[in-house]
A and B are shown apart, each in its own frame.
Chain A
Amino acid sequence: MQQTQSANFTTVATGTNVIVQAVLAMALGLFVVGMVGFSHISAVHNAAHDVRHANAFPCH
């Protein structure tokens, strides 16, 4: 009984752990896209200008 419980606990912990790591990676992805496509810094805007237009991100 105790063994099953601890086994269950490990599965749940691993599951939560995977979710946390996946969500972290997705947040990093959104941050990268935000910098390239949405930053108001003019140098960043001008550097990625053609890509912003080609991806239909809002641009000047």
Chain B
Amino acid sequence: MHVFRSIVFAASLAGLIVGALISVVQFFGTVPLIQKSEVFEKAAADAHHKASHAGSAEVDHHHDAEWEPEEGFQRSALTVAANVLTAIGFGLLLTGIYALRQRPVHWREGLFWGLAGFAVFVAAPGLGLPPELPGLPVADLTARQIWWIATAALTASALYLLILRSEPWAAVLGVILIVIPHLVGAPVAPETHAEVPASLSHQFVVTVVLTGLLFWSLLGVATSLAFDRVSRKRS
């Protein structure tokens, strides 16, 4: 199982570094935007709360029962932990690909695999389900998750056909696979009034996509360097 161990070690090392770096970027980029948006979300929730309590004695303890991290250190620490775990998880995918190549993968090739990850996990799902701030009207969560995962899977298969197969039919099928989920269409949010300003939403979309591009570029380079180093030591 030495290949498995090398993959896990390289992905953990790269994930730790990239997860920590991207957390710093998020603390200056996405986190302030999420906090601004939560002011609108809380205001809307309070208004709804008051309205529902005015007429009836019905107790809404749905939200009180859920655990939430404390503001400040706990919330930030959990953000770093979640980023590190996400980076290790996606890092395992990338490093698994390098192992399957069964030859050394240069950092520049790693960068390209990282950009492929960006296309599969940020660009393609984001086209139908753009990054959203808390407090915006959204469609059913499970429906969106299914569409997101299906789109990522189809785009990944398409990139395999486009990049690693040389037959013309593979190229045609690859393009078709990329288009299919967008023809089917992502679950649509109900038409309701949102308190969150459109300019804030727009800024969030740009920030998330750019942070995603940075995340995947760094992860591609870091995993290829780490895996190259680890496998060389073992052989």
Q: Which residues of A contact B (CB under 8 A)?
A: 15, 17-19, 21-26, 28-33, 35-38, 40, 42-43, 46-60
The 3 closest A-B CB pairs, nearest first, are: A29-B92, A32-B89, A26-B96
Rounded to whole Å, the gap between the CB of A29 and the closest CB of chain B is 3
Residues of A within 8 A of B121 (CB): 55
Rounded to whole Å, the gap between the CB of A46 and the closest CB of chain B is 5
Given contacts A29-B88, A48-B82, contact A18 B100 (CB under 8 A): yes
Other-chain residue from B3, B31, B81, B86 in contact with A18 (beta carbon distance below 8 A): B3
Contact B95 A25 (CB under 8 A): yes
- In the complex, which residue of chain B has the Cβ closest to the Cβ of A60? B141
Rounded to whole Å, the gap between the CB of B209 and the closest CB of chain A is 8
Q: Check if B26 is an interface residue, CB within 8 A of chain A.
A: yes
Q: Check if B93 is an interface residue, CB within 8 A of chain A.
A: yes
Task: Identify the interface centre among A23, A51, A53: most chain B CB within 10 Å of its CB.
Answer: A51
Contact A50 B92 (CB under 8 A): no
Task: Identify the interface centre among A26, A58, A59: most chain B CB within 10 Å of its CB.
Answer: A58
Total contacts A-B at CB 8 Å: 136
Residues of A within 8 A of B131 (CB): 53-54, 56
Q: Which residues of B contact A (CB under 8 A)?
A: 1, 3-4, 7-8, 11, 26, 29-31, 34, 66-69, 75, 78-79, 81-83, 85-86, 88-93, 95-97, 99-100, 102, 121-122, 125-126, 129-134, 138, 141-142, 144-145, 148-149, 208, 211-212
Given contacts A53-B134, A55-B212, A60-B141, contact A47 B92 (CB under 8 A): no
Rounded to whole Å, the gap between the CB of B25 and the closest CB of chain A is 9
Other-chain residue from B78, B100, B138 in contact with A47 (beta carbon distance below 8 A): B78
Rounded to whole Å, the gap between the CB of A45 and the closest CB of chain B is 9
Residues of A within 8 A of B91 (CB): 29
Residues of A within 8 A of B11 (CB): 25, 29
Contact A15 B26 (CB under 8 A): no
Other-chain residue from B4, B142, B145 in contact with A25 (beta carbon distance below 8 A): B4
Other-chain residue from B67, B125, B130, B145 in contact with A42 (beta carbon distance below 8 A): B67
Contact B93 A54 (CB under 8 A): no
A–B Cβ pairs within 8 angstroms, 24 of them: A18-B3, A19-B100, A21-B99, A22-B96, A22-B97, A22-B99, A25-B8, A26-B92, A28-B92, A32-B86, A33-B89, A35-B85, A36-B86, A36-B89, A40-B142, A47-B81, A51-B83, A52-B82, A53-B30, A56-B125, A56-B126, A58-B129, A58-B148, A59-B138
Residues of A within 8 A of B99 (CB): 18, 21-22, 25
Given contacts A21-B1, A25-B4, contact A56 B100 (CB under 8 A): no
Q: How far is the CA of A42 from the CA of B189 in the complex (A)?
A: 21
Residues of B within 8 A of A46 (CB): 66-69
